[in-house]
Amino acid sequence: MRLTRSLTTGLALLAAVPATGHAQQGRLFNNSWFWGLGGGTLTYWTSATAHANAPALSLDWLITRTHMAALVTFDQSFFSARGLTYTDVGRLYKDTTLTNFSNIGYYAQAKVRNSRHITASLMAFPGHGPIRPYIGAGISANFIQGSVTTSPPPALTPAAQWFPNYYGSQYRDQAADWVSPVITAGLQLQLSRFSVYGQGKLFPLSYNQYNPYFFTDQGFIEFQAGIRVNVASLEHL
């Protein structure tokens, strides 16, 4: 009888080990606040190139529940691109008294450097255990840090007078800053309070003559890898 009780107790303890490990993994992820740091590459398409790659750094803030999370990220990429086409607008005067005019657009070119992306997304973590796939969608504010027009005004007949700077840098500025959706998919591996992750982000962008962005309709794709640290528990919130 004593042997039977000992065997029963031992089997119960063995059965509890996976459950204990599972609970531990849950406590390390569920209802937590993570800070993350990562790096990777940003791929972009323009009117001047089929695709180009740029190094990128990322800082993120992940707030988890059990299977859902909120993710806020700040991404910084480093590049210099030339010959990007966008739509500019000026005034074309057709008389010498400068009273008969029309506002017309033409394709200007610019060079740009670096970009920043601030995103906020709602994420789903459908799995359990130390390896957790995730997917999410949200919105991104995108900023080009530097842009300079490089193309001259278009050639006109001698009788016409062209004022390409009538609107100043308005249209170039509109091409440099925009808002887009963002889709994120990745995998996170839990290692105690530290996690490593790999993920991809898609920033789709629709280009047409009324959206004079520097970048074409493929938008941006970013691949990242990094580490996240569990810095606080939200169990009592």
H/E element, 155:
none
- Burial class from Cβ neighbours inside 10 Å (0-12, 13-18, 19+) for residue 156 reads exposed
pTM (predicted TM-score): 0.78
What pLDDT shows up at residue 104?
80
What pLDDT shows up at residue 166?
74
Judged by phi (left if over 0) then psi (alpha if -120 to 50, else beta), residue 26 lies in: alpha
Domain 26-231 has CATH 1.10.10.60: no
Tens digits of residue pLDDT in 129-149: 889 999 999 999 999 988 888
Distance CA 174, CA 112 (A): 13
Q: What is the mean pLDDT of residues 24-39?
A: 84
**CA 168 to chain CA mean position, Å:** 29
CA atoms within 13 A on the CB side of 192: 0
| pLDDT tops 60 at residue 20 | no
Q: Which of 202 and 157 is assigned the larger pLDDT?
A: 202
Judged by phi (left if over 0) then psi (alpha if -120 to 50, else beta), residue 31 lies in: left
Q: With bands split at pLDDT 50, 70 and 90, how would you rate the model's confidence at 216?
A: confident
Using alpha carbons only, what angle is made at residue 104 by residues 98 and 110, rounded to the nearest 5 degrees? 115
Residue 115: both structure tokens together: 């970009």
